[in-house]
Amino acid sequence: MTENPFFRPSTLDYELPPFAEIREEHYLPAYERGMAEQLAEIAAITADRSLPTFENTLVALERSGELLRRVDAVFRNQSSSDTTDLLDEVEAKVSPLLAAHHDAIHLDRALFARIEALYRTRTELGLDPESLRLLERRYTGFERSGARLGEAEQARLRELNAELAALGTTFQQNVNAATRANALVLDSAAELAGLSEGAIAGAAENARVLGHEDKYVLSLKNTSGQPELAQLTDRSVRERLLAASLGRGIEANGPIAIRMAGLRAERAALLGHPSHAAYVVADETAGTVEAVSALLARLVGPAVANARREAAELAAAAAADGIGEIAAHDWAYYSEKVRQSSFQVDAAVLRPYFELERVLRDGVFFAANLAYGLSFTERPDLTAHHPDARVFEVFEEDGTALGLFVGDFHARASKRGGAWMDSLVEQSALTGRRPVVLNNLNIPLPAPGEPVLMSWDEVRTLFHEFGHALHGLFSDVRYPLFSGTSVPRDFVEFPSQVNEMWMVRPEVLANYARHHETGEPLPAGLVERMTAAEGFGQGFRTVEYLAATLLDWAWHTVPQGEEIADAEEFESRALAAAGVGVDAIPPRYRTTYFQHVFASGYSAAYYAYIWSEVLDADTVQWFEGNGRPVRESGEVFRRELLARGFSRDPLESFRAVIGRAPETEPLLARRGLL
């Protein structure tokens, strides 16, 4: 047997992981050895008889865990973007081990004693600002992980963390299974009336792949809403599709959500906070539960009023079809009708102008060139984690190589839903590494030989995720802890949202939005009408998002000891109490498939998207109104904000760009909430 490829640093360019050599059976041994190695490194730090110094403690800690970092970066991506039964098993085994490993380091009294001794004398150590911040952030991280607790409390904390890690993995795997199981199987093409020919052919192909010969299968997206709801003319099919989506995971995940909320509340109490939400936001830019609640409360009333105005317009359109009252499964369909009649835009008309290759090269990459001077060269000689994923080398304006960008744009049965960015190699001056970043999307593969034509939302997602990629690529920090996107969650969505602005910048749009067959530009006025039409849907979109946010908030502001009997009942009461219980607008995610908050790191942090959007809207206004050339603004945004990662206070970085603290008005204007 050949040696496990994780055991040594990669020798490929940029230390790109050696994907061609990695086999499923390499992960678990690499994790085990990686954790053991790091614990040995920590033991060496604490065994050092000399007095603690920044170098022998903090820097040594930053350098520790190399093997674990290597395997974890690859595994996290692999298990999300191309999983197998075996990888699911590895994940179920590893996640409690990782939680225990985190505790083993953060509850190590000898290690904390060294950090604390340094922290107490931090102003006398002559540290540069980034090093001082490293000491402060590490100290806070240990404290928040329970380093100060007594023996019995730490023992309980370890139990809580282990159980929460295991439950999170089970929750995620239940969502995946339910999402597959609830795919809608239809007998005839007639039931798919309203969908494009391509989409119907796709549903037939999907059925074939899934073993339903001569049928049609609509697979489910992550969210409550499903894109086909906007087109399916058969109301009963719409109803079945939405019911399949909303019904995911109720039996399996309802009790898990209840248990997790209880454990999180207990852990928060142990760590001295009144609720899990209070614990989480204390380390976010928002700071307090009150600050978040205040922003949300300010948005709910106007958003619901907008949604009700939209509902009245939809009802008028539906009346023509003999429908008395708009149900949740009618909303997207009549929205699309109103959009077409009031704004003369038909979402389907846009697709031929959004061909993936063109959007990527002449849109996303082109915008990165305009703003930051970047250029991109595909590297087919470098192997990524899946045959459909592509590797690009990224260059500065002066030709200096900056890093690698891996794009995995397509949906597959083995990929989880949604879109996300990951880091395979983190930039750090300490380790001398340059960044390797990765974007995952879920754009359906067309029939063989057909071009990949994208929807408006998919184009936006491509720009969005690339904004995260830039955050990683531009990272220019010393310590890995601060690298790239390692910022608070309520800040991390800000740079990615800012990057969405390029999608409709006239000079960018004109460059990429061309008909894939004729090369014709978009018909005049179409984008303006599309943008106006988007304004029309803001009521719905804001309410469905706020509903999910307030649901997350309700689950995580529960104080310790409060009993929750039934997840669905808790959900409907929470939504009604928050004033977002609009019958025809289900939350963007219901509790039982809300992976962000029960299976990844967004518990009590789903508010982060709208919190970040405050900064985003403010920054877009700055880009458009500051009177400087785009390239110059891009340089300021890069130098003062993207490059800094978490190496300084993120709001300080924001102020360094804009010249003042963030203001809410641009967001309210954008969302029609003023």
Stretch that binds Zn ion, among 32-40, 57-65, 492-500, 580-588 (CB under 5 A): 492-500
Cβ at position 421, least distance to Zn ion in Å: 7
Cβ at position 496, least distance to Zn ion in Å: 4
User: How distant, in Å, are the alpha carbons of 406, 564, 567 from that of 573?
Assistant: 43, 11, 10
Does residue number 612 form part of the binding site for Zn ion (CB under 5 A)?
A: no
Cβ at position 419, least distance to Zn ion in Å: 8
| 59-91 exposure pattern, b = at least 16 Cβ within 10 A, e = fewer | bbbbebbebbbbbbbbbebbbbbbbeeebbebb
Cβ at position 343, least distance to Zn ion in Å: 27
Stretch that binds Zn ion, among 38-46, 473-481, 486-494, 615-623 (CB under 5 A): 486-494
**CB-CB contact of 106 with 65 (8 Å):** no
Cβ at position 470, least distance to Zn ion in Å: 12
> Looking at beta carbons only, is 311 or 501 nearer to Zn ion?
501
Contacting residues for 639 by C-beta, under 8 A, at least 6 apart: none
Other CB atoms within a 10 A radius of the CB of residue 214 amount to 9
Cβ at position 612, least distance to Zn ion in Å: 9
User: Nearest 5°: phi and psi at 394?
Assistant: -110, 130
Cβ at position 228, least distance to Zn ion in Å: 24
334: left (phi over 0), alpha (psi -120 to 50) or beta: alpha
Q: In 107-192, where does DSSP find H-type helix?
A: 109-120, 129-144, 151-181
> Looking at beta carbons only, is 206 or 223 nearer to Zn ion?
223
> Looking at beta carbons only, is 313 or 422 nearer to Zn ion?
422
Distance CA(543)–CA(586), nearest Å, equals 9
Interaction pattern, residues 65-104, with Zn ion; x per rule: CB under 5 A: ----------------------------------------
User: How distant, in Å, are the alpha carbons of 10, 73, 148 from that of 416?
Assistant: 27, 16, 38
Among 181, 207, 312, 346, residue whose Cα is nearest residue 582: 312
Radius of gyration over every alpha carbon of the chain, rounded to an integer in angstroms: 25
User: Nearest 5°: phi and psi at 422?
Assistant: -140, 160
Number of residues that bind Zn ion (CB under 5 A): 2
Stretch that binds Zn ion, among 151-159, 269-277, 495-503, 538-546 (CB under 5 A): 495-503
Cβ at position 37, least distance to Zn ion in Å: 32
> Looking at beta carbons only, is 223 or 496 nearer to Zn ion?
496
Stretch that binds Zn ion, among 43-51, 56-64, 300-308, 493-501 (CB under 5 A): 493-501
Distance CA(543)–CA(304), nearest Å, equals 6
User: How distant, in Å, are the alpha carbons of 31, 64, 166, 405 from that of 38?
Assistant: 11, 6, 22, 28
Cβ at position 196, least distance to Zn ion in Å: 28
Q: Is the dihedral of CA 365, 370, 374, 375 positive or negative?
A: positive
Interaction pattern, residues 14-43, with Zn ion; x per rule: CB under 5 A: ------------------------------
- Residue keyed to tokens 């877009």: 620
Other CB atoms within a 10 A radius of the CB of residue 635 amount to 16
> Looking at beta carbons only, is 362 or 493 nearer to Zn ion?
493
* 465 counts as catalytic: yes
> Interface residues for Zn ion in 249-268 (CB under 5 A)?
none
Distance CA(336)–CA(235), nearest Å, equals 14
Does residue number 442 form part of the binding site for Zn ion (CB under 5 A)?
A: no
- Strands (E) in 285-410, as ranges, are 375-378, 390-395, 401-410
Element (H, E) at 443: strand 436-443
The tokens for 204 are: 């037939």
Distance CA(122)–CA(116), nearest Å, equals 9
Beta bridge partners of 443: 410
The tokens for 348 are: 């389907």
**CB-CB contact of 282 with 273 (8 Å):** yes
> Looking at beta carbons only, is 355 or 493 nearer to Zn ion?
493
Beta bridge partners of 496: none
The packing angle between helices 66-81 and 85-106, to 10°, is 140
Cβ at position 162, least distance to Zn ion in Å: 29
Other CB atoms within a 10 A radius of the CB of residue 55 amount to 9
> Looking at beta carbons only, is 228 or 493 nearer to Zn ion?
493
**Closest residue to Zn ion: CB criterion:** 496
> Looking at beta carbons only, is 182 or 496 nearer to Zn ion?
496
Cβ at position 358, least distance to Zn ion in Å: 23
Stretch that binds Zn ion, among 165-173, 335-343, 372-380, 494-502 (CB under 5 A): 494-502
657: left (phi over 0), alpha (psi -120 to 50) or beta: alpha
Stretch that binds Zn ion, among 214-222, 307-315, 474-482, 488-496 (CB under 5 A): 488-496
> Looking at beta carbons only, is 52 or 435 nearer to Zn ion?
435
| From 284, 458, 465, 613, the catalytic residue | 465
What single-letter DSSP state applies at residue 453?
Answer: B
Contacting residues for 3 by C-beta, under 8 A, at least 6 apart: none
Stretch that binds Zn ion, among 5-13, 158-166, 241-249, 489-497 (CB under 5 A): 489-497
**CB-CB contact of 578 with 554 (8 Å):** yes
Stretch that binds Zn ion, among 133-141, 146-154, 474-482, 485-493 (CB under 5 A): 485-493
Stretch that binds Zn ion, among 48-56, 70-78, 490-498, 654-662 (CB under 5 A): 490-498
Cβ at position 347, least distance to Zn ion in Å: 22
**CB-CB contact of 24 with 16 (8 Å):** no
Distance CA(317)–CA(322), nearest Å, equals 9
> Looking at beta carbons only, is 567 or 604 nearer to Zn ion?
604
> Looking at beta carbons only, is 174 or 496 nearer to Zn ion?
496
Binder among 285, 306, 423, 496 for Zn ion (CB under 5 A):
496
> Looking at beta carbons only, is 343 or 602 nearer to Zn ion?
602
Interface residues toward Zn ion, by CB under 5 A: 493, 496
Annotated catalytic sites, by residue? Answer: 465
